[in-house]
Structure formats: C-alpha cells, structure tokens
Amino acid sequence: MRVGFTATPPNSTAIDPEVKATVLATVSALERLGHDVEE
C-alpha cells in the first residue's frame, strides 16, 4: 500500500510533540510492514 503523510501543519500552528512522535512511530511501523510511505 502507498501511504502519504505530513508532520507539517498547513498553517503556522505547532504540532504537539507527542502527536508528532506518534505519527512518526506509525510511519515506521507501516514501513516495517512493507508499505511505501512518502512525506
């Protein structure tokens, strides 16, 4: 499966560090499962 994600908000608001860490951990898990992940 091909998955796209971004850790950069579309405006100037900050992303909570815990949320960003969770997104990146999910990305890593998807890559380990063989998915094509692009930012």
In a domain, 29, yes or no: yes
Residues constituting the chain:
39
- Does residue 19 sit within a domain? yes
pLDDT tens digits, 1-39:
999 999 888 898 999 999 999 999 999 999 999 999 999
Please give the residue range of the domain that contains residue 29. 15-39
pLDDT at residue 37, rounded to an integer: 98
Secondary structure of residue 37 in the 3-state scheme: strand
pLDDT of the residue at 8: 86
At residue 9, the pLDDT reads 87
pTM of the model: 0.80
Q: Which helix (H) or strand (E) holds 36?
A: strand 36-38
Furthest-apart CA atoms within the chain: distance in Å: 33
- Is 2 inside any structural domain? no
Nearest to 6 by CA among 25, 20, 28: 20
Q: Is residue 1 part of a domain?
A: no
**Does 37 fall in a domain?**
yes
Domain count, the chain: 1
